[in-house]
Copies of this chain bind each other. A is one copy, B any other.
Amino acid sequence: MKPGPNRLAVTGIGNAMLDIITQDSREVFRDLGLTKAAMELIGEHQLQAFFDAMGPTIQMSGGSVANSIAGVAALGGTCGYIGKVADDDFGKRFTHDLRSMGVEVDLAIATAEEGATGRCHVFISDDAQRTMATYLGASNQLRVEDIRDDLIARSEITYIEGYLFDLPPAKQAVRKVVNFAHEHDSMVALSLSDMFCVERHRRDFLELVTSDVDVLLANETEIKALFQVASLGKAFELIEELGVLAVVTRGPHGADVATVSGVVSVPAKEVETVVDQNGAGDMFAAGFLYGLALGADPVEAASLGSLCAGEVITHLGARPEGDLELLAIEAGLL
């Protein structure tokens, strides 16, 4: 069942940013004090030094939830995006890229004091791991007065990025988003974003998951950090008690979906060479959420997620290059 006219399958709300990507065979990210495969936050005064240390770069739109929304659009889904950019070249490119895919955007424009458009410096190691240094800038200045209900009211699912919690005003904005979603019967989905983000905001996340979240998306380390448990099995027991639909991505091991009849594992799509893992989780979320919005059961939806994740890891960058809709139709998933 496709959403009706003027309805949207998914609206995302997250940190709007550009990715600045380099292949980093020599792992120079170590000299910058970064931890392999993790994301760290940097300030505006560090931007030049980080850029200077990078090899040749490729630049494209990014932002975890924005990537997922681009994925939904690439699958042929109707979708929306709420975020904040500055009135600069990066902000214009971010807006252009989503709009040109048919995404309905509701982007607040930051004041000069709120900073420049966010950007993420991505270092790809030879083993396809990504190490990231993120300047949040304008992206994280989303305030309660920036949130309008139009897109949320029309959406089957409202998808919230955990990273938004990194600045206090955004927390209130998230509260408003959740209230709008409840008012308009839009399912609330939450991405835990990253293990360190979970550690920074564990209490807030737990509260949100307990009282407001219908669908929880996480990877293995994030879900363990949220519940402070050592095993995935224990995490799933707690998920069952909470009664939320949860999916845990496990890289090459696929994804585990917590359903009413227990945990079901969905295999990862086999690919020849993994070039860049950047975007794998985001694209999984795209397929999973779009599947749910169309009324698929969670396991079918996870299969669509695996297909999307499998495409994005075969090339540099976190957004799809191939025709995802065609791939999904050929695989019998759309």
Please list the residues of chain A having a beta carbon within 8 angstroms of any beta carbon in chain B: 22-23, 25, 51-52, 54-61, 70, 89, 93, 96-98, 100-101, 126, 275, 315-317, 319, 321, 323
* Given contacts A25-B323, A316-B315, A101 and B58 within 8 Å (CB-CB): no
* Given contacts A315-B315, A316-B315, A57 and B321 within 8 Å (CB-CB): no
CB distance from A101 to the nearest CB of B (A): 6
Q: Which residue of B lies closest to A74 (CB)?
A: B56
* B22, B100, B316, B317: the one within 8 Å of A55 (CB): B100
| In the bound complex, CA of A52 to CA of B316 (Å) | 24
Please indicate which of the listed interface residues A60, A70, A323 has the most CB atoms of chain B within 10 Å of its own CB. A60
Q: Which residue of B lies closest to A61 (CB)?
A: B56
| B60 and A57 form a contact (CB under 8 A) | yes
Q: Which residue of B lies closest to A93 (CB)?
A: B57
| In the bound complex, CA of A315 to CA of B273 (Å) | 12
* B54, B315, B317: the one within 8 Å of A100 (CB): B54
Residue numbers in B under 8 Å from A321 (CB-CB) = 23, 275, 316
Please indicate which of the listed interface residues A51, A52, A58, A59 has the most CB atoms of chain B within 10 Å of its own CB. A58
| In the bound complex, CA of A92 to CA of B319 (Å) | 25
| A52 and B96 form a contact (CB under 8 A) | yes
CB distance from A59 to the nearest CB of B (A): 5
Residue numbers in B under 8 Å from A319 (CB-CB) = 56
| A58 and B317 form a contact (CB under 8 A) | yes
Q: Which residue of B lies closest to A22 (CB)?
A: B100
Residue numbers in B under 8 Å from A93 (CB-CB) = 57, 59
* Given contacts A275-B321, A316-B315, A56 and B89 within 8 Å (CB-CB): no
Residue numbers in B under 8 Å from A97 (CB-CB) = 56-57
| In the bound complex, CA of A81 to CA of B317 (Å) | 27
Residue numbers in B under 8 Å from A70 (CB-CB) = 56
